[in-house]
Amino acid sequence: MDMFEKQVEELKKKDAPLAARMRPTTLREFVGQEHLVGEGRVLRKAIESGQLPSIMLWGPPGSGKTTLAFIIANATASHFSSVSAVTAGVADLRRIIDEAKERRKLYQQKTILFIDEIHRFNKSQQDAVLPFVEDGTIILIGATTENPSFEVISPLLSRTRVFTLKPLTEDEINTIIQGALQDKERGLGNIKTEIENEALKQLITMSNSDARIALNALELAVMTTLPDAEGKRHITLPIIEDALQHRALLYDRAGEQHYDLISALHKSLRDSDPDASLYWLARMLEAGEDPLYIARRLVRAASEDIGMADPQALVVAMAAQQAAHFIGIPEGNLALAEATVYLATAPKSNSLYTAYSRIQDEVEHGKNEPVPLHLRNPVTKLMKDIGYGKDYKYAHNFPGHVVEQQDLPDSLKDKRFYFPSELGYEKQVTERLKTWRAIKKTSNGSKQKQD
């Protein structure tokens, strides 16, 4: 790099957004992902030893995937080439691979190829690097926000080690923000800044675990705030709201309101009120609540308050959870809203919930007798000799595929736990059970005649 190129590079760094300027260059500066890069962890040891295999870094936006790749670049003696799958094509990959071959031949130097957003490459583009990962021409580092199992071709995935990055915690986001406020060389340390607690909390919450969003919003807030007479810039809640373009809603994700609002949502679902259910859902989502936390409560409501009255409710709730996880927020909000309306308007029954509660009580306080011998599988001759499976009646050999047979221990022989309601699908279940009980009483277990 000549003097002119060096000056251009320095100018680019100076004019770069705060998130880019504050990008850590060493593991010591890196915040989060202790399960991967903490002392003694396998990825840290691989980076420090220079013995890095081809890897996939899978995690949400702003969790440190690209940063880790550049830390590896600074820590390794290998040549580092970087491309983005958004703009690069097969021709770019072939050029880098040809250069890597030459470098390996002339200097015995390894080449690390970093592909950002590798999930955007199609099959043929991923196929282009496969042989050279396999023969060691390049060490591949792929970064993706999508599940590699679905977005990376199997042959390439089998030749890499997947490392999963977790969303940054609120404490970690706070650490990153404080570092940027204090850093005088790359950050905002030369600007006297005071940020109110409420403004800081809103910035952390609405960053949604994305360090890039937090830092860039912080920079915008600081640079657009005029200093007071003493030269200090006071960052208030309205300033952060303006920088984020999002109004701060009265909500405490870790406090009483968190539980109050989820309780209101669950009870509105139980009360079959779609309007109130949607309202409480939106209150939480728009305030920055974890959408997967809400999805878990929808799944619970589907089982507890609807149950067998509409078995499809659980399917819809789980589909909403998968959709919210797959496409993220805000796009996933509508999937959660759809599930919310479905649950609110579904027929209600808690018979499954009460049945399981009765069984829990029985298991906790009852005798816990052994399984009746005729229900046990006679796996060995000894088991068969002592009565395992003796006189067991195979239901499919009887009229209506129903047979009278004791399936509970002796002390619970005639005990009933499940009492279906007369609503929704459970009405069919009620009629079916009545029919089967009648068949059992009249048949006395008479075996169906074989043709």
pLDDT at residue 310 greater than cutoff 90: yes
pLDDT band at 250 (very low <50, low <70, confident <90, very high): very low
* CATH class for the region spanning 256-345: mainly alpha
311 φ/ψ angles, rounded to the nearest 5 degrees: -60, -20
Contact 302, 373 (CB under 8 A): no
pLDDT at residue 21 greater than cutoff 70: yes
Whole-angstrom Cα distance, residue 345 to residue 339? 10
For the chain, what percentages of helix, strand and coil (3-state, to nearest 5) are there?
55, 5, 35
Question: How large is the average pLDDT for residues 384-408?
Answer: 87
**DSSP-derived pairing of the beta strands 161-164 and 79-84:** unpaired
Question: How large is the average pLDDT for residues 266-281?
Answer: 92
Provide CATH 1.20.272.10 ranges for the chain: 256-345
pLDDT for res 443: 64
Contact 173, 70 (CB under 8 A): no
Q: Which of 194, 196, 187 is nearest to 227 (CA)?
A: 194
291 φ/ψ angles, rounded to the nearest 5 degrees: -60, -30
Helix (H) / strand (E) containing 144: strand 138-144
Mean pLDDT taken over the chain = 86
pLDDT band at 219 (very low <50, low <70, confident <90, very high): very high
Provide CATH 3.40.50.300 ranges for the chain: 32-164
Q: Residues of the chain with pLDDT > 70: what percent? A: 92
CATH match of 368-443 with 1.10.3710: yes
Provide CATH 1.10.3710 ranges for the chain: 368-443
Q: At what angle do helices 274-286 and 333-345 cross, to 10 degrees?
A: 150
Q: Which of 244, 229, 156 is nearest to 192 (CA)?
A: 229
Whole-angstrom Cα distance, residue 321 to residue 293? 9
pLDDT at residue 227 greater than cutoff 50: yes
Residue 163's DSSP bridge partners are 57
pLDDT for res 253: 53
pLDDT for res 328: 81
pLDDT at residue 444 greater than cutoff 60: no
Q: Residues of the chain with pLDDT > 90: what percent? A: 39
pLDDT at residue 449 greater than cutoff 50: no
- Tens of pLDDT, residue by residue over 39-67, are 989 899 988 887 889 999 998 888 899 89
pLDDT band at 1 (very low <50, low <70, confident <90, very high): very low
pLDDT band at 182 (very low <50, low <70, confident <90, very high): very high
pLDDT band at 411 (very low <50, low <70, confident <90, very high): confident
pLDDT at residue 314 greater than cutoff 90: yes
CA 280 to each of CA 253, 264, 440: distance values in angstroms, whole numbers, following the listed order: 14, 7, 48
Dihedral (Cα; 393, 396, 399, 403), 10-degree rounding: 30
Whole-angstrom Cα distance, residue 348 to residue 269? 9
Contact 343, 304 (CB under 8 A): no
112 φ/ψ angles, rounded to the nearest 5 degrees: -100, 125
- Tens of pLDDT, residue by residue over 316-359, are 999 999 999 888 878 889 999 999 999 999 999 999 999 999 98
Lowest-confidence range among 77-86, 152-161, 441-450? Answer: 441-450
pLDDT for res 451: 38
Q: Classify domain 32-164 at the CATH topology level.
A: Rossmann fold (3.40.50)
With 0.85 as the threshold, say if the pTM is over it: no
CATH number assigned to the domain with residue range 170-244, chosen from the 4 options 3.30.420.40, 1.10.8.60, 1.20.58.710, 1.10.645.10? 1.10.8.60
pLDDT for res 13: 61
Provide CATH 1.10.8.60 ranges for the chain: 170-244
pLDDT for res 441: 77
Question: How large is the average pLDDT for residues 254-276?
Answer: 84
Residues 6+ apart with CB under 8 A from 221: 199, 203, 235, 239, 240, 242, 243
Other Cβ atoms within 10 Å of 396 Cβ, number: 8
Whole-angstrom Cα distance, residue 259 to residue 265? 10
Residue 194's DSSP bridge partners are 234
Whole-angstrom Cα distance, residue 31 to residue 212? 13
